Amino acid sequence: MAGLPIRLDSSPSDLRTRAARERDPRAVLRLLAIANALEGMTRTEAARLAGMERQALHDAIQRFNAEGPDALQDRPRSGRPEQLSPGQQAALRAHILHGPEPERDGVSAWRLVDLCEHVERTYRVRYSQWGLSCRLKRLNLSRQKTRPSQPKGNPAAQPAFKKGTPVQAAGHRGTAS
């Protein structure tokens, strides 16, 4: 029994070249599997070499035949809609980057608890700390904190402790003169 015919407007070398430039790793595998099948491999072997099931290759061939190589990229999936609009997300990002004012906000650095309260108070949207942490990662914000400073530190003595500063030996220990 012959498999599903594959359209022949793209050669296997064209598909491999396109796979080399593709950013979506799953689309790369689909392109390579179809290129292998066009070169005469069995569908089972072409799918196995690309790390997929034979049925997944069959589905990719159907999409390729119907819409061409562009159809092999992952399609957007439906999911839960965003709770904050893009404008609200931009405003939240600006609020975080501006930083807290200790007199007004009562904190010197943002914590997730404080940001959850701010989002609920400002936008009437409730996030858990974990959920807001995920949202902040998607806004390209990290949880890095500034380096703490010792209130009684001596700024003049600090350069002696920085990396790369030459260390002066105080003399040899344990040698009798």
Write out the two tokens for 75.
């399609």
Query: Within this chain, do residues 18 and 62 fall inside the same structural domain, yes or no?
Result: yes
Per-position DSSP letters for 55-74, written without gaps between them:
HHHHHHHHHHHHH-GGGGSP
Asked whether residue 159 is assigned to any structural domain, the reply reads no
Same domain, 61 and 95: no
* Domain shared by 65 and 96, yes or no: no
Average pLDDT over residues 56-81: 90
User: Is 24 a domain residue?
Assistant: yes
The verdict on 45 and 19 lying in the same domain is yes
Sign of CA dihedral 122, 128, 130, 131: negative
pLDDT tens digits, residue range 82-137? 899 999 999 999 999 998 888 888 888 889 999 999 999 999 999 999 999 999 99
Average pLDDT score over the chain: 87
Considering the domain boundaries, does residue 91 fall inside one? yes
Instruction: Identify the CA nearest to 135 among candidates 150, 123, 153.
Output: 123
In a domain, 165, yes or no: no
Residue 158, domain member (yes or no): no
Distances (CA, A) of 163 to 133, 157, 174: 33, 13, 28
Strands (E), the chain: none
Give me the number of domains the chain comprises.
2
The lowest-confidence range among 23-32, 64-73, 139-148 is 139-148
Residue 60 included in any domain:
yes
Per-residue pLDDT, 3: 73
Asked if residue 64 and residue 16 are part of one domain, the reply reads: yes
31: domain range? 12-72
Whether residue 170 lies inside any domain: the answer is: no
Do 30 and 53 lie in one domain? The reply is yes
Is there a domain that residue 172 lies in? no
At 160, the pLDDT band (50, 70, 90 cuts) reads confident
Nearest to 19 by CA among 33, 40, 7, 5: 33
